[in-house]
Amino acid sequence: MVPALPWFALSPNGLLSAVGLWRGAQETVPTPVEDWRQAVVDVVIPARLQQHDIAHCLAALLAQTLQPRGVILVDDGGTERDGTAAIAREFAAANGLSLRVIERMWSIGRGPTIKRQARESDADVEFVLDGDTLLHSADYIERCVRELYEGVGIASVCGMVQPMRGEHRRALERSSAFQRWLHGEAYRDPRMRRGFGRRALQWLGDVYRETSYLLQQRFINRGQMALFGGVVVPRGNAIAYRRRYVKDLFDRYEPIHGDQLDEGEDVFIALALAQEGYRNVQLSTALAHAEQPPLDRLLRQSYRQARAFLRGCREFNPLLMTPFKAWRRWLRPRPRIGAEQRRVREAYRQPFGERLTHEHGRPIGWALFLMAFERLGYPLLLLWLLISGAWLWLSAIVLAEIVATAAVLAAISGEARAAISGGARAAIVGKALLIAPLRFAMVFVDLVAAVAFVADRAQRPRPRRGR
């Protein structure tokens, strides 16, 4: 599941990211002791009902400059299984790809799939690639693995993600790997055979996510990277993990949660790693495209994202409460050895261990707290202005936010042309204005999710205490 998307540029996290972009990143030059070129990489593809996408996914994977040791496709379709596994086997045989296919008799979910492969594999890096995601940058995996080995404090690395378009699929269909699979036969993409209504809903859904993803990844997350050396929740469509860290994480939390991570495994993994003191890094130089649900499924997806975020905040409360522990961090004695005197230097270096998070919090906890604050505070503020009839204040806030978001998107679109459909700055600003009413309407989804989350928690039976 993808992380919850930002609504506004004029938000606490938006202002925090602006400070980070203005200040810039740490200038520490890392001196890693591990050579990323020696890392063993396995690609894990969790797939469910993706027979129309898996050939494109594998074609993009074969074009990578850094090829993995092996590819593990886990067909989690269960009783609803389609032709995903069969197509993947045919494609691998035609191109000499080292592919192992696991077909689940019943669906267990994406989170348990990541957990099982982390335990069964002996690779250094577990690269998780969704079956409906295309690696646009030819060096996507190479850049992620190289960054992963810049320091032992980096647990995961991902690139930028944007909605998949027809031109991205057609480019892969012309590749030699795709043509070898076709054996000279003509190919008609089932994704392109949609009626006008479905195409319109898909286009509107893509426009909403295109503008939201740009705001999140090119502005919010880049500011967090500059301030903290990591982001709150990275994109999970195409992400490299240190396999040992993920294995240790699940060994720790499985006795508590089992396989019940159906409300957002990406959020859970990211926050669990952050609570241990690790960093989740996002690269601005690597790009992937992912299939997105149409507009009529946006409400359901946003509700699930909000539930996943709330669950993560509750589960990792010590990380969330970082602002209230900051004074302890400031009073903590500084190490005697300066960063310039260390044999192994690492940017944004911090000690590991959950105990330190309980005592002092983590720097990234500031961003998590502000994110939680704005996702509940904004809906309540707008609702109060609506109920009280403060139309002047409401209009001023809405207008200021629309102008600010359009200005931010115009500023960042110039450096993100490869990620934008159409590529023009005016086009992305026009899309932001078109989708503005929907962005304000989606604000209240988090409020509904919060009420439902609290009600659900209240209805659960409490354990009996012994007398």
Q: Where are the domains of the chain?
A: 1-23+32-335+352-458
How far is Cα 318 from Cα 358, in angstroms, rounded to an integer? 5
Looking at the chain, the whole-number percentage of residues with pLDDT higher than 90 is 60
| Contact (Cβ atoms closer than 8 angstroms) between residue 27 and residue 54 | no
Q: What is the pLDDT at residue 40?
A: 97
Q: What is the pLDDT at residue 466?
A: 45
Q: What is the pLDDT at residue 177?
A: 95
Which helix (H) or strand (E) segment holds residue 152: the answer is: none
Mean per-residue pLDDT, 168-192: 91
Which residues, 6 or more positions from 155, have their beta carbon under 8 angstroms from its beta carbon? 241, 242, 245, 246, 273, 276, 278, 279, 280
pLDDT tier at 335, thresholds 50, 70, 90: low
Q: What is the pLDDT at residue 11?
A: 87
Query: Does residue 9 surpass a pLDDT of 90?
Result: no
Query: Does residue 231 surpass a pLDDT of 70?
Result: yes
Query: Does residue 464 surpass a pLDDT of 70?
Result: no
Average pLDDT, the chain: 88
Tokens representing 279 are 């960093």
Question: Burial code of 207-225, b = ≥16 C-beta within 10 A, e = fewer?
Answer: bbbbbbbbbbbbbbbbbbb
Q: What is the pLDDT at residue 467?
A: 41
Q: What is the pLDDT at residue 106?
A: 84
pLDDT digits (tens, 9 = 90+) for 12-36: 889 999 999 999 888 777 777 889 9
Mean per-residue pLDDT, 134-156: 96
Q: What is the pLDDT at residue 173?
A: 94
Which helix (H) or strand (E) segment holds residue 366: the answer is: helix 364-388
Dihedral angle of Cα 339, 349, 224, 60, to the nearest 10 degrees = 110
How far is Cα 356 from Cα 360, in angstroms, rounded to an integer? 6
pLDDT tier at 200, thresholds 50, 70, 90: very high
- Of these ranges, 30-34, 40-44, 338-342, 450-454, the one predicted with the greatest mean pLDDT is 40-44
Which residues, 6 or more positions from 341, have their beta carbon under 8 angstroms from its beta carbon? none
Q: What is the pLDDT at residue 77?
A: 75
How far is Cα 127 from Cα 316, in angstroms, rounded to an integer? 25
Mean per-residue pLDDT, 285-311: 91
The verdict on domain 1-23+32-335+352-458 having CATH code 3.90.550.10 is yes
pLDDT tier at 59, thresholds 50, 70, 90: very high
Q: What is the pLDDT at residue 326?
A: 76
* Class of residue 176 by CB neighbours under 10 A (exposed 0-12, middle 13-18, buried 19+): exposed
pLDDT tier at 424, thresholds 50, 70, 90: confident
pLDDT digits (tens, 9 = 90+) for 86-111: 999 999 999 999 999 999 888 888 88
Strands 154-163 and 99-103: unpaired
pTM of the model: 0.91
